[in-house]
């Protein structure tokens, strides 16, 4: 395959960036999108140019490090992570636009790499449980009803990639935050911090400069792990419940 790439190039956080055009040749349809970028980078290095910086780690769809908005879609045209997107999703001769996640809470560090530490700070605000450390507890000691376990597991699938923020017209982090809140709030292990968790994580989310939810639904369409839009509804319900309880105290 022969492709034309238009890639966002930006030397540093505080410099202006622009789209640059590159031609890549000899691309196999079985390559992943990141392998295709590796090919481009090898070429750039041989020519003595600065390679394109992009985030990646596991390359098997589980770590959440890879990002990239491809032709306007977070993680590209398939519902998966960029590392699991294959070149067979494109046609020979295509022109492909590659841009970084766009949100003021995710500033660009270089080229396609953005700073997602705002997510870490949302987790620090309440995405944990307090439990004694040591050996694993007896598995049957705390019974979890099957529907709750399923719900928690569904939300635990969130890999923190930030595609939801990148796709949202308001740069909102509601889907991510709701996945984390719901994951722990339905479990007995998460019960002691049920109220403070949702209040603190939502407050942190606001402080980090993410936008608000207008229920446009773009986040759930972009999410590679299929976190559903209704997660946000559940989190709203938890937030209202916690606010009522805090008001009574």
Give CA–CA dist 215/34, Å, rounded: 31
The footprint of ligand SF4 (CB under 6 A) covers 158-164, 175-176, 179, 222-225, 227
Residues between 56 and 95 that touch another protein (CB under 8 A): 69, 71-72
61 lines the binding site for ligand FES (CB under 6 A) = yes
Give least dist CB 63 to ligand FES, A. 3
63 lines the binding site for ligand FES (CB under 6 A) = yes
Give least dist CB 75 to ligand SF4, A. 8
Beta bridge mates, 148 = none
233 lines the binding site for ligand HEM (CB under 6 A) = no
Binding ligand HEM (rule: CB under 6 A), the pick from 20, 117, 214, 233 is 214
62 lines the binding site for ligand FES (CB under 6 A) = yes
**Rule CB under 8 A: which residues touch another protein?**
6, 8, 19, 69, 71-72, 97, 99, 102-105, 168-172, 202-203, 205-206, 209-218, 228-230, 232-241, 243, 246-247
């Amino acid at each position: 395959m022969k492709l034309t790439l238009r890639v966002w190039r930006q030397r540093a956080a505080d410099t202006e960036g622009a789209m640059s055009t590159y031609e890549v040749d000899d691309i196999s349809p079985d390559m992943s999108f990141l392998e295709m970028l590796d090919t481009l980078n090898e070429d750039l290095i041989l020519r003595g140019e600065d390679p394109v910086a992009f985030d990646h780690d596991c390359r098997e769809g589980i770590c959440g490090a890879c990002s990239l908005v491809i032709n306007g879609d977070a993680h590209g045209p398939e519902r998966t992570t960029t590392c699991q997107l294959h070149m067979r999703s494109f046609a020979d001769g295509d022109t492909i636009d590659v841009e970084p996640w766009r949100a003021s809470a995710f500033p660009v560090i270089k080229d396609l790499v953005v700073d997602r530490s705002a997510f870490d700070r949302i987790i620090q605000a309440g995405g944990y449980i307090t439990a004694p450390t040591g050996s694993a507890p007896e598995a049957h000691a705390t019974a979890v009803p099957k529907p709750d376990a399923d719900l928690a597991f569904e939300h635990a699938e969130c890999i923190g990639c930030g595609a939801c923020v990148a796709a949202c017209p308001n740069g909102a982090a509601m889907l991510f935050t709701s996945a984390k809140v719901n994951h722990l709030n339905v479990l007995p292990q998460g019960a002691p911090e049920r109220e403070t968790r949702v209040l603190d994580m939502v407050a942190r989310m606001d402080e980090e400069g993410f936008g608000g939810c207008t229920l446009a639904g773009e986040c759930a369409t972009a999410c590679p792990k299929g976190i559903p839009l209704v997660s946000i509804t559940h989190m709203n319900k938890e937030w209202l419940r916690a606010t009522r309880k805090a008001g009574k105290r």
